[in-house]
Structure 1
Amino acid sequence: MTKKLTMKEPLSQEEFKEEYRKKADILKDFILNRESGEDKIHVFNHEAGFGKSRITDEVLQQEILNARCTGLPENERRFLLVKKFKKDVLQSEETISSGGLFRNDVLGITAENWTDGAKWRFRKEQLKQFKVLIITHSRYISMCTDEEERQALMEGRHTLIIDEKVEFPIYSFDERQYDKLQKHLPKPAPPLLYEITFPLFQEMRSQKSRTNIDGKVRFNNEILICSPKLKNKELLLSEMRNLVDKNANLKLNDRSDAYKILKALENLYGRKCLFNGDKISSILEHHKFLTLKNNIILDANGEIDALYSNQLSDGFESKRQTKIIYHDNCEIQHLQFNTSKTSIVKLEEEYFSKIINLIKDEHKPDDKTLIVMQKRFVMDDNKRVASFVNRLYKEGINSVFLGSEDEEKKYNNESYAVNWFGNLIGKNDWKDFNQCWIIGTPLLPMDTYILNMWQYTGKINWKIGREVVKKEGVQQFKNKDLEKIRKGHVVGEIYQAIKRIQRNHHPKAQFFIVNNDSDVFNKVVKHLPNVQVREPIDLDIKSKKTEQDLRV
């Protein structure tokens, strides 16, 4: 049974084409003719599956074709295009240069040609000849702290176009990071490891003992501020890097992990940080948006993600785009159960058994089903399959394409795909799938929402209210702005996940969302015009363990 909502009249094919053309023309105008100013970024929220990345590539391609083939006056603007992944850089380079015909006008920067190969990092003047430079998000972030790189890639450029949300790094340390670092060092663990980490653990113990005026421990209900310090930081960290360098048994990925942990230690000591539970985190003040005279972000979550809100910062200006993809042939259902990581772990066996049976019941022979949840249940730190995938295999589901951080891994016509939040945006491997199950809730550590706000506003406010409360098993902020950011992130991640399937203008799909937050579910529905809403189901999962089992 489906619930009837207020329906909009779907666009005819001709109406759709006309609306699509109008929206493409608006984006083109902002790329070629408008100026945001260096203190502003225009945010375009074209819905997922609209084709905003393709339109941008085609606008830049046509601009070069006009200049080289028609004799029309050339637009003097130089463009910097920022793409999420290396493969996107190469794909855009191929499109914008018309298959390589105009290689002298377009250059995609990758690790292979930046410091190696063509060594473009050292050819600053020659970089200026290119009409379009294309870089990854990671290189855009690295420019924040590398003035030479920033000058080489931005000097003389007019328009910045960032495709998808930028995720600036957050530096954290906890016991898990300690264990990782210890594994990457010679055995037995050197005293130096204790020396460089002891002040952080000492700070954590100190924060856990802090109380309010009523004598209650504060860290249970508040994100606290701390300032860890390490004497002779540079010398000790340099000695630790030498130990990592000399460990010939380390694999490349393990060595990279060790360097990342040492980088976190470098950035945590001597800086104000946030303490949350058992973890200390902070950010670099330099990690904030770099701009040109004209700045554009393309993000389907532009309307959902409160980080772009002008109530938080006047650095963003929304160029809101109405939706023109209707979901008359789609159904969505809310399955009520708390799917935070903590809740799933407590009832893992019962939950996985029930949800897999429901997935199998809905999956018909010709269906393609995408399943999305938290990474820890899909793949462990050693890139081995984790508990949910093992349970799928046990239940006889073997045709499974597993999520991967390897850009080269390709979908091979499997009936099921399992992936995790944070590993979906910008990927189209599941564009022809017709079912999507969201069986986990994409929650971030509470301190991350605060740090993200500071990164996006460019202002660090240590006085902001950081108190948290627990409602229906989920932590929420008392501060309204932070709670909007937290909830917007959850809604946006779910929206992006379900829009990985049926990436066309007439989708026909079934969506299933498992969580215990009806407000989040309703907000997702709001972004799927005309979707048919099935009656909700309460999964009513109870532990099979007896009271005696729990005592043991």
Structure 2
Amino acid sequence: MNTNIENCNTELLEEQKKQLSYEIVYGENAGHFAVFDIEAGCRKTRTAEKALVDLYKTGKKAILVRRTDNDCRESMQNINTMAGLDIAFAYNNEDVSINNISRVNSLLPNIPIVIITHQKYTVLMKDSSKRKTFALNRNTLVIDEFLSTINVITLGVSDFETYIALFENDMVLSQAFEKAMHQPIDFLTTWNKKDSSRRFITLTDKSPSKDFDRLIKLIRANVSDQLLKTWREKIFSNADTEMDVNFVLLNELCTVKILCERISEYKQLFTGMCLYSDKKLHTTDRRYNYWFLDNNIMLDASGELQIAYALNQNEFILQHCEKVLDHSRWKIINVPVTTTTAVKDKILNFYDVVNHELKKYKDDILVVGKKDEMQLIDVPEENKGYFGNITGSNQWYDKKNVAIIQTHNLSDVDYILKYLHYAKETIEESFPLTCKCNGRTVKRMYSFTDKRLEKIRIHWIASEIYQAVKRVNRNMRYATDVLIFINNEEVIELIKSQMKNCIVETIDFENDMFIMEKSKQDDYVETLKQDSYATRFIEFLAETQNGLHLEFLDEKHRISKAKLREYLGIKTSSNFADKVLRKSEVISYCQVREIDLSGQYIKLPNTG
């Protein structure tokens, strides 16, 4: 692999690498990470590995954290080769057998550079005793790529019904479970029926730990793995009944240890604010916190796009490394079409259009999308990547071009929990959590109404796409086309901001290029005159009943006539009545759909 980088401000890059090396060897970043956001493809990891060899020569020891086991082995080999002796050891479950753990752990204090995975670092967050084994007498911690501390805990009706079904075999356990969990159970039982709108809530039990500790002690004293197996099999055998049981959860509760760990997690529902959404309670596990050594470094090319750094500036100090790569030979070609799964699945010819656009690149293009859609893409198998297996990979370093065919999205709950977890600030329970839809058919756009949450969503999507884009042309030798199928100008602008001097071109296909699966309401609307106020009014109602324009609806599922009149550009209420409300097609449309036009509000039927 040729590591020479072209079209690069080499002098500035060398200065950045020297600063990174200095901070690894001599830095004093205690209690926080110095985040080096040197651009993707500039050999940050290799620079860090060389600096760790220099650190060893000063008599200090370190921990290096990389994403996967293979990454750890690669770094071990690189460091030992540069040092000329074995100073680094990759610690993982594959290379360290259970029978050999004690012996290896006893040798850890004598190993200068210990290399662990992101997953291992996360496990050590909760286990302080094991953490001491790894951290003893070590000065420096280097983490390659951002490492999330978010572990989501969710409780729904089918979850607590699963535990109730298990513990009905033992009255003491059943009562202990109810005592520990009665508040979230009562909340869900009540509000799922009364008002299931999304909101923040706080559980007020003052001493949940005592009840949870008692429950866990009772389980350990009275339930064996064999007895638990019998209880689970009894529930599985009654699977055809009307029991509201989460069988995925039940399958996971296969040992007493796992059962106790899962129940212990629910204590986190009482430690701060929870999100109530989709008739479930959600929170994050606050036991997962970053742990530090005397000097702490993080490497992340997407630093400016990682929202955790902006929300938590006490634990992350971004270095704001200047861009060194000249992307003037890179062209971002944006095809503005909505490529979230929900919309893309309704585009009848999406993959036909994509494959037609890919033809001219032959086999010199990497295509990135969802794992389960790649079989529909007409490029060689080795040219296919998917979100989840590409970040940090050099597999396609010599490919010239790349196409992104999926908007890699998270759920609303995940974005909201990111804010709740990383902001570490008091959030008002009236915090707006609603979403809105704009546009129609293949250009429908979904977003949060609150700018803070929307910023998190946009930055996360941009970061994922940027990391995928930078898998190709790693040496900056070629002219590169970057095809991005996405209907979001803000995301495109953020990606552009990371690629100095790149060109952006938008290809807006003809209206009939993408063929959207139509609803009956779409067909009805299209038969009406396109230019009349009445037609626009009917289109608005049709779109609202299909999930758009939610900002116009009040809590009673009504639309203010005054607001809608202003939206349509009609100045007076009399003109609104003449041009819209008295039109026969409007009256007919509303009567068929039971839409009430009387009074000051338009009352839509509440479909719940």
**Alignment-mate amino acid for residue 69 of structure 2:** K
| Corresponding position: 1:61 with 2:53 | yes
Q: Which of 149, 161, 166 is residue 130 of structure 2 equivalent to?
A: 149
Q: Indicate conservation of the 8 Å contact 2:8/2:326, yes or no.
A: no
Q: CA shift at 1:55, angstroms?
A: 0.9
| Corresponding position: 1:547 with 2:528 | no
Which position in structure 2 is the counterpart of 1:106?
88
Q: CA shift at 1:430, angstroms?
A: 1.9
Which position in structure 1 is the counterpart of 2:333?
333
Q: Which of 130, 134, 142 is residue 161 of structure 1 equivalent to?
A: 142
User: For residues 97-496 of structure 1, what are the structure 2 equivalents within 5 Å?
Assistant: 97-98=80-81, 101-103=84-86, 105-114=87-96, 116-120=98-102, 123-124=105-106, 126-173=107-154, 191-192=165-166, 204=188, 206-209=190-193, 211=195, 218-219=197-198, 222=199, 234=216, 258=252, 266-268=264-266, 271-272=269-270, 273-309=274-310, 312-345=312-345, 347-359=346-358, 361-364=359-362, 366-373=363-370, 378-379=371-372, 388-392=373-377, 397=378, 399-400=380-381, 414=382, 416-420=383-387, 422-457=388-423, 461=427, 463=429, 465-472=431-438, 473-496=444-467
**Alignment-mate amino acid for residue 366 of structure 2:** T
**Cα separation, partners in 2 of 1:391 and 1:355, compared to 1, 3 Å:** same
**Cα separation, partners in 2 of 1:256 and 1:23, compared to 1, 3 Å:** farther
Alignment gaps of 5+ in structure 2 = 169-173, 237-247, 439-443, 525-608
Partner deviation per Cα, 1:99-137 (whole Å, 9 max, x = no partner): 79522x32211114556253158734x322222111111
Q: CA shift at 1:255, angstroms?
A: 11
Q: Indicate conservation of the 8 Å contact 1:137/1:166, yes or no.
A: yes
**Cα separation, partners in 2 of 1:281 and 1:21, compared to 1, 3 Å:** same
Partner deviation per Cα, 1:398-430 (whole Å, 9 max, x = no partner): 732xxxxxxxxxxxxx3x30412x332122222
Q: Which of 21, 24, 45 is residue 31 of structure 1 equivalent to?
A: 24
**Alignment-mate amino acid for residue 155 of structure 1:** L
SS in structure 1 of the partner of residue 19 of structure 2: helix
SS in structure 2 of the partner of residue 331 of structure 1: strand
Q: CA shift at 1:300, angstroms?
A: 0.9
**Alignment-mate amino acid for residue 396 of structure 2:** W
Which shows bigger deviation, 106-115 or 153-162?
A: 106-115
Which shows bigger deviation, 108-117 or 259-268?
A: 259-268
SS in structure 2 of the partner of residue 537 of structure 1: coil
Q: Indicate conservation of the 8 Å contact 2:448/2:454, yes or no.
A: yes
Q: CA shift at 1:493, angstroms?
A: 0.8
SS in structure 1 of the partner of residue 282 of structure 2: strand
Q: CA shift at 1:492, angstroms?
A: 0.7
Q: Indicate conservation of the 8 Å contact 2:336/2:485, yes or no.
A: yes
SS in structure 2 of the partner of residue 47 of structure 1: coil
Partner deviation per Cα, 1:418-471 (whole Å, 9 max, x = no partner): 412x33212222222222222221221222233334544556757582523314
Alignment gaps of 5+ in structure 1 = 1-10, 68-74, 183-188, 212-216, 380-387, 401-413
Q: CA shift at 1:32, angstroms?
A: 0.7
Which position in structure 2 is the counterpart of 1:80?
63
Partner deviation per Cα, 1:357-392 (whole Å, 9 max, x = no partner): 333x4433x42332224xxxx33xxxxxxxx34534
**Cα separation, partners in 2 of 1:149 and 1:462, compared to 1, 3 Å:** farther
**Cα separation, partners in 2 of 1:340 and 1:281, compared to 1, 3 Å:** same
Q: Indicate conservation of the 8 Å contact 1:141/1:287, yes or no.
A: yes
**Alignment-mate amino acid for residue 22 of structure 1:** E
Q: Indicate conservation of the 8 Å contact 1:93/1:107, yes or no.
A: yes
**Cα separation, partners in 2 of 1:501 and 1:279, compared to 1, 3 Å:** farther
Percent pairwise identity: 21
Cα distance in 1, alignment partners of residues 320 and 114 from structure 2: 27
**Cα separation, partners in 2 of 1:172 and 1:12, compared to 1, 3 Å:** closer
Q: TM-score, normalised by structure 1?
A: 0.74
Q: Indicate conservation of the 8 Å contact 2:36/2:298, yes or no.
A: yes
Cα distance in 2, alignment partners of residues 244 and 368 from structure 1: 52
More helix by share: 2
Q: Indicate conservation of the 8 Å contact 1:78/1:157, yes or no.
A: yes
Cα distance in 2, alignment partners of residues 539 and 425 from structure 1: 34
**Cα separation, partners in 2 of 1:161 and 1:418, compared to 1, 3 Å:** closer
Cα distance in 1, alignment partners of residues 11 and 112 from structure 2: 30
Q: CA shift at 1:92, angstroms?
A: 0.8
Q: TM-score, normalised by structure 2?
A: 0.68
**Cα separation, partners in 2 of 1:165 and 1:239, compared to 1, 3 Å:** farther
**Cα separation, partners in 2 of 1:351 and 1:138, compared to 1, 3 Å:** same
Query: In angstroms, what is the RMSD of aligned CA positions?
Result: 4.1
Which position in structure 2 is the counterpart of 1:385?
none
Which structure would you say has the larger RCO, counting Cα contacts within 8 Å and 6 or more residues apart?
1
Q: Indicate conservation of the 8 Å contact 2:156/2:188, yes or no.
A: no
Partner deviation per Cα, 1:127-154 (whole Å, 9 max, x = no partner): 2222211111111111111111110111
Cα distance in 2, alignment partners of residues 168 and 339 from structure 1: 28
